[in-house]
Amino acid sequence: MKTKAKMTIDTEKCKGCGLCVSVCPLKIMEIDKSITNKKGYHAARNIDIEKCIACGNCAITCPDAVITLEKEEG
């Protein structure tokens, strides 16, 4: 059984602090320098959602509740 994750990142709310990057056990979060939001921050993104185990670390850690995580058992 594999846990599949669906992640939504509200890039306009992200301030690029990198906390979500530092708490991901699989190192699949990164700050994407190609994204600059209206506040002038580079936003976080998930680089490999297939590997995500939906542990929730990133979503819980984000101070601005930018990350929404849904998981599906499949």
Positions in the binding site for ligand SF4 (CB under 6 A): 5, 14-20, 23-26, 28-29, 44, 46, 52-58, 61-62, 64, 66-67, 69
Instruction: Give the whole-angstrom CA distance, residue 51 versus residue 14.
Output: 22
Which residue number, 23 or 36, has a Cβ lying nearer to ligand SF4?
23
Minimum CB separation from ligand SF4 for residue 36, in Å?
A: 13
Count Cβ neighbours within 10 Å for each residue of 25-56 and write b for 16 or more, e otherwise.
eeebbbbbeeeeeeeebbbbbbeeeeebebbe
Instruction: State in angstroms the smallest separation of the CB of 74 from ligand SF4.
Output: 15
Nearer to ligand SF4, 20 or 33 (CB): 20
Q: What are the tokens at 73?
A: 């058992």
